[in-house]
């Protein structure tokens, strides 16, 4: 079929699926799916930058998303003055010591002549620096975490509007991507995959354990919103009057309105991202990237610095994932480091990109919306199917109980099957690259 007809049809299909959910379930559910779908689409765009444009295999998306969430917290939450007084400066100083040690070691490595003396002095500097850092860091952390541990126990953020946190989240992710890229790019493709897998686990471990930074598993809750609260809308006489004028229940209408406002914000970001990525794709820079992806040796012969371009696009793609992570934390209103699972935040995004069509931005957006819809809806569908299968069994049957309980795990299975089927029978995805 002509892509000019097929692609809008595919999008129409996804939106009609979501609208159908609105009619069959509720508009709250439908908008919830749409909002997360929009965020997933942004993540998929970021991964598509790395994989579709440059062929870089990043399996650490979870880490960059989590860092983006941290960005939203560090900007949006109010600062905890007492904690800053108790140990804020000391903590910053200890972090500066740690950074100084690492920079010192790198400089030392560059300056001294190769040999045993260099290795030994660098090791001595690193080990000594580590102990000095711990000696400064530990008491500062203890002091900060002792301040009202049940309520705060962390430094808090800057208390600025949370929307500023979105680009900041992107910057944090970009910084982490720079460190990973500097070490692992230029080595083999598998090594980048394993390095990103590792850094993602470490970022989440840091968020889980450094209570002074992110409250760890105690979670940061009540992140300020960029949109009004439902309760304020319900208390506003004009809102209630207007909704009742339209014949709507003000309570439902308020939550739908809030979700719609989030949806508009996310859609604005997504459209901006699509515009930027499309511009980039069709620029000389985008053509160069595809040339590098398709034949590194030839591109290098044409004088392109392949490693630098890879580093650049790796950082850009990770920053986009970071922005999406900040958006997600804003939508949830909380940062829950315990909930970051690689299957959900790394591999699911990969399914979105592959199914949508790697190398095509519209494909990634479609994949993001469609796969997110399936991810949410497969569970009730699985349950319904299990009900059907087990309807003939007796109510006391152990197998029936087990099957019904396990229906929740259907979604992993479904995602795997979808990924394999697409890779096998339509490896270019739903909307292939031109």
Diameter of the chain measured on Cα atoms: 82
- Compute the least distance from the CB of residue 57 to other proteins, in Å: 5
- H helix or E strand, kind and range, residue 334: strand 334-335
| CA atoms of 21 and 38, how far apart (whole Å) | 16
Shortest distance, position 195 Cβ to other proteins, whole Å: 7
Q: Pick from 219, 344, 410, 432: which binds other proteins (CB under 8 A)? A: 410
Q: How far is the CB of 412 from other proteins (least distance, A)?
A: 3
Least Å from the CB of residue 249 to other proteins: 38
Number of residues that bind other proteins (CB under 8 A): 45
CB of 54 to other proteins, least distance (A): 12
The stretch near other proteins (CB under 8 A) out of 16-24, 70-78, 280-288, 422-430 is 422-430
Instruction: Among 345, 347, 362, 375, indicate the residue that binds other proteins (CB under 8 A).
Output: 347
DSSP-H helix ranges across 25-60: 27-48
Indicate whether 116 belongs to the interface with other proteins (CB under 8 A): no
List the one residue from 22, 104, 198, 263 that touches other proteins (CB under 8 A).
Answer: 198
Which of 355, 310, 319, 273 is closest to 63 using CA atoms?
Answer: 319
Distances (CA, A) of 77 to 70, 329, 340: 10, 12, 20
d(CA 425, CA 434): 18
**Nearer residue to other proteins within complex by CB, 393 or 420:** 420
Asked if 411 interacts with other proteins (CB under 8 A), we say: yes
Does residue 98 touch other proteins according to CB under 8 A? no
Q: Per rule CB under 8 A, is residue 199 in the interface with other proteins?
A: yes
Helix (H, G, I), strand (E, B) or coil at 221: strand
Pick from 16, 89, 148, 209 the residue near other proteins by CB under 8 A. Answer: 209
Tokens matching residue 268: 């604005």
DSSP string for 352-410:
HHHHH-TT-HHHHHHHHHHHHHHHHHHHHHHHHHHHHHHTTS-TT-HHHHHHHHHGGGH
What is the smallest separation between the CB atom of 139 and other proteins, expressed in angstroms?
Answer: 10
Regarding 195 and contact with other proteins (CB under 8 A), the answer is yes
235 binds other proteins (CB under 8 A): no
Q: What letter does residue 175 receive in the DSSP assignment?
A: H
The DSSP letter of residue 220 is E
- Given 89, 148, 189, 283, the residue binding other proteins (CB under 8 A): 189
Spatial distance between the Cα atoms of 394 and 210, rounded to a whole number of angstroms: 51
Instruction: Decide: is 15 part of the binding site for other proteins (CB under 8 A).
Output: no
C-alpha closest to that of 224 among 298, 159, 174, 299: 159
Residues in 370-399 that interact with other proteins by CB under 8 A: none
Asked if residues 360 and 434 have their Cβ atoms less than 8 Å apart, the reply is: yes
End-to-end CA distance of the chain: 14
**Exposure of 209 in the CB half-sphere (CA atoms within 13 A):** 6
Is-contact 46 319, C-beta < 8 A?
yes
Task: Check binding of 191 to other proteins (CB under 8 A).
Answer: yes
Single residue of 12, 112, 231, 343 touching other proteins by CB under 8 A: 343
In the complex, least distance from residue 67 CB atom to other proteins, rounded to whole angstroms: 15
CB-nearer residue toward other proteins: 195 or 327: 195
Residues of this chain, 123-162, that bind other proteins according to CB under 8 A: 130, 138
Binding site for other proteins (CB under 8 A): 55, 57, 59, 130, 138, 183-184, 187-191, 193-195, 197-199, 201-202, 205, 208-209, 342-343, 347, 350-351, 354, 405-406, 409-417, 419-420, 423-424, 427
């Amino acid at each position: 079929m002509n892509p000019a007809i097929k692609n809008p049809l595919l999008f129409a299909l996804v939106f009609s699926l979501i609208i159908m959910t609105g009619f069959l379930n509720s508009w709250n559910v439908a908008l919830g799916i749409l909002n997360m779908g929009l965020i997933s689409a942004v993540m998929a765009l970021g991964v598509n930058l790395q994989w579709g444009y440059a062929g870089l295999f990043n399996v650490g998306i979870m880490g960059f998303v989590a860092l983006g969430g941290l960005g939203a917290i560090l900007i949006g939450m109010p600062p905890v003055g007492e904690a800053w007084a108790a140990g804020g400066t000391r903590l910053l100083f200890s972090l500066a010591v740690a950074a100084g040690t690492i920079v010192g070691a790198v400089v030392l490595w560059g300056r001294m002549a190769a040999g045993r003396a260099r290795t030994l002095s660098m090791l001595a500097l690193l080990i000594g620096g580590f102990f000095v850092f711990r000696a400064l860091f530990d008491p500062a952390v203890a002091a900060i975490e002792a301040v009202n541990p049940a309520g705060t126990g962390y430094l808090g953020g800057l208390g600025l509007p949370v929307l500023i946190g979105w680009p900041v989240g992107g910057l944090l992710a970009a910084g982490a991507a720079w460190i990973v890229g500097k070490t692992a790019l230029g080595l083999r493709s598998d090594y980048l995959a394993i390095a990103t897998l590792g850094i993602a686990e470490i970022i989440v471990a840091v968020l889980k354990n450094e209570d002074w930074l992110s409250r760890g598993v105690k979670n940061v809750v009540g992140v300020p919103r960029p949109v009004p609260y439902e309760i304020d809308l319900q208390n506003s006489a004009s809102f209630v009057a207007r909704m009742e004028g339209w014949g709507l229940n003000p309570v439902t209408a308020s939550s739908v309105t809030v979700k719609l406002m989030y949806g508009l914000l996310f859609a604005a970001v997504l459209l901006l991202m699509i515009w930027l990525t499309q511009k980039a794709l069709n620029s000389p820079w985008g053509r160069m990237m595809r040339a590098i992806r398709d034949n590194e040796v030839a591109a290098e012969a044409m004088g392109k610095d392949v490693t630098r371009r890879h580093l650049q696009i790796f950082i850009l793609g990770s920053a986009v994932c970071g922005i999406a992570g900040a958006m997600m934390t804003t939508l949830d209103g909380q940062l829950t480091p315990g909930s970051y699972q690689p299957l959900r935040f790394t591999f699911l995004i990969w399914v979105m990109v592959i199914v949508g069509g790697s190398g095509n931005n519209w494909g990634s957006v479609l994949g993001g919306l469609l796969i997110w819809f399936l991810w949410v809806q497969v569970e009730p569908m699985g349950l319904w199917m299990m009900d059907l299968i087990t309807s003939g069994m007796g109510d006391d049957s152990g197998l029936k109980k087990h099957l019904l309980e396990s229906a929740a795990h259907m979604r992993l299975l479904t995602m795997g099957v979808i990924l394999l089927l697409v890779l096998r029978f339509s490896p270019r995805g739903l909307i292939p690259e031109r």
